[in-house]
Amino acid sequence: AQKITQTQPGMFVQEKEAVTLDCTYDTSDPSYGLFWYKQPSSGEMIFLIYQGSYDQQNATEGRYSLNFQKARKSANLVISASQLGDSAMYFCAMREGRSDSSYKLIFGSGTRLLVRP
Amino acid sequence: EPEVTQTPSHQVTQMGQEVILRCVPISNHLYFYWYRQILGQKVEFLVSFYNNEISEKSEIFDDQFSVERPDGSNFTLKIRSTKLEDSAMYFCASSDGAGQGHFGPGTRLLVL
């Protein structure tokens, strides 16, 4: 069964420093997609970054980058130059199923990030 | 940028009452989803909908739940007889079939 594990329930980071949020996954499908979402206290799910299993390069979106290590089945999110507004819950998710068109996702339990001034 | 919208943003209901949560997906999207997030827990898939029918549903999506696309723009989730444990944030999502999708802002449901 496919599974997403986020082992850090909470993290602290100093403003302007970089932080890595861990995510490991388990799947037997050769084709899959990995997502990261930010959930601020207001509750909405904000898409941050996506990595396909066949993508050769690690995904980057502004201050977000995904450290994709396929052999280790990990997809860690790196946030560079943390800002106070980065304080939120962060969820790793995987597209389940063989179809690349699917948006049926399974989520990890999340990591709460607090950025200290 | 187009976005998924959901109404209402908050809903309070009495146990046993029916609720309908509404979503307007992005206009050219063909795949629609509902997810649920109980307070403090992970987001869970409920159901996917394509071509006017359910394509997949989870164990959570039992007979008290139903989905409908009553017209060309709305996508609804109905809970027939709400229970206390239905209290959660409900997210609608839509995708274009290329694997990228968008979540709506959610409806926070409280069952008393």
Bridge-based pairing of strands B10-13 and B107-111 is parallel
Higher pLDDT, A102 or B65: B65
CA dihedral (B60, A26, A60, A89) positive or negative: positive
Top-ranked range on mean pLDDT: pick from B27-31, B64-68, B72-76: B64-68
Assess whether pLDDT exceeds 70 at residue B68.
yes
CA–CA separation, B87 and B109 (whole Å) = 5
Please report the pLDDT score of residue A100 as a whole number.
62
- What string of H, E and C letters represents the secondary structure of chain A? CCEEECCCCEEEEECCCCEEECCEEECCCCCCEEEEEEECCCCCCEEEEEEECCCCCCCEECCEEEEEECCCCEEEEEECCCCHHHCEEEEEEEECCCCCCCCCEEECCCEEEEEEC
CA dihedral (A93, A99, A101, A104) positive or negative: negative
Residue (of A5, A3, A19, A115) closest to A65 by Cα position? A19
Chain B: give the shortest CA distance to residue A18, in Å: 25
Q: Do B106 and A44 touch (CB under 8 A)?
A: yes
Q: Do A103 and B41 touch (CB under 8 A)?
A: no
Please report the pLDDT score of residue A97 as a whole number.
63
Which residues does chain B have within 8 Å of residue A91's beta carbon, measured at their own beta carbons? 42-43
A9 touches chain B (CB under 8 A): no
Residue of A nearest to B32 (CA): A103
CB-defined contacts A:B, below 8 A: 58
Q: Do B42 and A91 touch (CB under 8 A)?
A: yes
Please report the pLDDT score of residue A12 as a whole number.
96
The answer to whether the beta carbons of residues B22 and B90 sit under 8 Å apart is no
Residue of B nearest to A95 (CA): B99
Please report the pLDDT score of residue B97 as a whole number.
77
Q: Do A102 and B105 touch (CB under 8 A)?
A: no
Kindly state the percentage of chain A with pLDDT values over 70: 94
Please count the residues of chain B.
112
Average pLDDT of chain B is 93
Question: pLDDT tens digits for B43-53?
Answer: 999 999 998 99
Exposure string of B36-60, with b = 16+ CB inside 10 Å and e = fewer, is: bbeeeebbbbbbbbbeeeeebbbee
Span B53-81, mean pLDDT? 93
Phi, psi (rounded to 5 degrees) for B50? -150, 140
Q: Which pLDDT band, with edges at 50, 70 and 90, does A30 fall under?
A: confident
Question: pLDDT tens digits for A70-97?
Answer: 999 999 999 999 999 999 999 999 997 6
Question: pLDDT tens digits for B79-97?
Answer: 999 999 999 999 999 998 7
Q: How far is CA A21 from CA A32, B13, B76, in A?
A: 20, 37, 35
Q: Do B43 and A91 touch (CB under 8 A)?
A: yes
Q: Do B31 and A103 touch (CB under 8 A)?
A: yes
Question: pLDDT tens digits for B29-44?
Answer: 989 999 999 998 999 9
Q: Which pLDDT band, with edges at 50, 70 and 90, does A1 fall under?
A: low
Residue A30: asked if its preceding bond is cis (omega within 30°), the reply is: no
Please report the pLDDT score of residue B72 as a whole number.
77
A38 touches chain B (CB under 8 A): no
Q: Hey, what are B55's tokens?
A: 């394509």
